[in-house]
Structure 1
Amino acid sequence: MTDRTLYIVTCGAPLAARVADGVSAARSRGWNPYVIPTDAALPWLESQDLADVPILTGNRKPTEAKRAPKADAIVVVPATFNTLNAWANGNANTYPLTTLCAALGSRTRTVAVPFAKTDLAGHPAWLASLAVLRYAGVRVVDPHDGSTASLDPVESGTGDHIAESFRWDWVLGELEPAGETRGP
């Protein structure tokens, strides 16, 4: 049994096809994961075996109890152009965005894996949003190689290949204090 809660926010891009792997990797490192998909990510989750992992969608009703404990950390895998820009601008108009905006305000450890095609990553808002999120303490991980020092856009048609090569330890390792690892 673990007492560390991890929210896995996922957006609609090929890397969302690896959420089940992320759940497994998180559990092996002592996290209790909850999945929070954007509407665009839901089709990517349909064919995955997420077993007993809570999938939180939509806002709860005022009469409903909280659905999850407070997060100790949050990962956004993948973070698409739309979500990343809305998050950086403080737009909390969906449950995933509200979760992400609240994480910035509460200084919850957060790691994002941006996933935007070259033409979108060339838009000026992209670089500005990345700068805002980094300034706020979000660790940004390149989906190509796990780098935190650089970030390359996703060339059109390569998303599935990048998703296949992606390693969840790149993300989860950023949540651990320097020099500390948990699990196998």
Structure 2
Amino acid sequence: MTTSRTLYLFCSAAPPVFDVARVIEAAQADGWDVCLGLTPTASGWLEESLGGLATLTGHPVRSEYKRPGEADVWPPADVILFAPATFNSINAWALGLTSAFVLGVAAEGIGKRVPTVAMPCVNAAYVRHPQFEQSLATLRAAGVTVLYGDSGFVPNQPGEQRPEGYPWRIALDTVSAVAAPQP
């Protein structure tokens, strides 16, 4: 009997979030049971699609913490993918600021040793801020696989659109590579 593994897909409010349904379908084709978590702004951007995304995943889309004592509506994660991860999300996560649900679960995932992959989505102006490289180094030192630069996302100039799009396939392939082997 084959059981699917659980992928927590966490997304910040960046343009690639609008491709999330296609990404979920690709992850499901790779054998993942996908649970979708969004930052509050990303949830607002996708508000009209949340019901359809919940149907697609078979799980509620989450952007808020559950109340104490409430049962968790998601199965435990086998792996976490945080993409697109904005400048704000990367820095808050690295600093341990967990006001947003996805940041809290990603931070806790480090402590639980859940294999975690992050792929930023930031423009070249943001990456010039000194905190960004420090945050990437902090996440890498904590065991997060960061797909940035030649091995993942390459920043574009502010306002520049990329015709080839966000490298989602690199992220999904990396998720499969870092996840513990299926029993």
State the shift of 1:3 in Å.
2.7
Structure 1 unaligned spans of 5+ = none
The answer as to whether partners of 1:141 and 1:171 remain within 8 angstroms in 2 is: yes
Paired with 2:117 and 2:34, the residues of 1 have a C-alpha distance of 14
Other-structure match for 1:169: 169
Alignment CA distance shift 1:21-1:42 (3 Å): same
Count of residues in correspondence between the two structures: 174
The one of 137, 141, 145 aligned to 1:131: 137
Give the TM-score taking structure 1 as reference length.
0.84
CA RMSD of aligned residues (A): 2.4
Paired with 1:114 and 1:167, the residues of 2 have a C-alpha distance of 10
Structure 2 unaligned spans of 5+ = none
Paired with 1:116 and 1:26, the residues of 2 have a C-alpha distance of 23
State the shift of 1:47 in Å.
5.2
The one of 116, 136, 158 aligned to 2:160: 158
The one of 64, 67, 71 aligned to 1:65: 71
Task: Give the letter for the 1:173 counterpart.
Answer: D
Higher helix proportion, which one? 2
**What does residue range 39-54 of structure 1 map to in structure 2 within 5 Å?**
39-46=40-47, 48=49, 49-50=52-53, 52=55, 53=57, 54=60
Deviations, residues 125-183 of structure 1 (Å, cap 9, x unaligned): 000000111122212224xxx842x7532311224x36x623432111112238xx99x
Task: Give the letter for the 1:14 counterpart.
Answer: P
Q: Are positions 1:91 and 2:80 aligned together?
A: no
Paired with 2:167 and 2:120, the residues of 1 have a C-alpha distance of 14
Alignment CA distance shift 1:94-1:46 (3 Å): closer
Task: Give the letter for the 1:114 counterpart.
Answer: P
The answer as to whether partners of 2:5 and 2:31 remain within 8 angstroms in 1 is: yes
Paired with 1:29 and 1:151, the residues of 2 have a C-alpha distance of 21
Other-structure match for 1:5: 6
Give the TM-score taking structure 2 as reference length.
0.85
Paired with 1:79 and 1:56, the residues of 2 have a C-alpha distance of 16
